[in-house]
Amino acid sequence: DDAMQKSFKQYVERPATLCIPLLLVTFSVGNGARIYAPDFFTVPTDFWLNLYWLLLCGTLIYLLGYGIRATLVLRKDPRSRRIANFYLASSIFGILACVVRITTAYFPHLQTSMGSALVWVFACMCGAGFALASAHSWRIKTKWFTKV
């Protein structure tokens, strides 16, 4: 409906649209574009790369939080509770990945392979959780259609 589209535009589309050009600029003028590393999380941060990580992770935390709000509504339906719980856990792992990355960006002594590994673990748990929840949800929705 129209109210939902306006809400999505205001709270999701507009922040993402504003953030993307800022991410491009902050990445381009700092160490993000100057220094190559096989693992981008280990690139030494300067002012611009710190700002890049703050913008990126701040926006992701905001968007994941917005998704959590929507998922909490979905969770009230007993038929959707399991999938909603997977999405909630995945969102929390994504937020944890962002918090760890912001922390390691602003405290250079934490920019080690261990700090990088922690970001990767939480980010992979987030991505895998979303993928598994989506696949499981799709299978449930198409179950009636695929019965022979």
Q: Which amino acid is at 67?
A: G
* H/E element, 52: helix 47-75
- With respect to residue 15, please indicate whether it lies within any of the assigned structural domains: yes
Q: Which amino acid is at 33?
A: A
Model pTM? 0.89
Full domain range(s) for residue 96:
2-141
Task: Measure the CA–CA gap between 22 and 43, rounded to whole angstroms.
Answer: 19
- With respect to residue 24, please indicate whether it lies within any of the assigned structural domains: yes
Q: How do the pLDDT tens digits run along the chain, 148 residues long?
A: 888 889 889 999 999 999 999 999 999 999 999 999 988 988 999 999 999 999 999 999 999 999 999 899 999 999 889 999 999 999 999 999 999 999 999 998 888 878 889 999 999 999 999 999 999 999 988 888 877 6
- With respect to residue 146, please indicate whether it lies within any of the assigned structural domains: no
Total number of domains constituting the chain: 1
- With respect to residue 147, please indicate whether it lies within any of the assigned structural domains: no
- With respect to residue 30, please indicate whether it lies within any of the assigned structural domains: yes
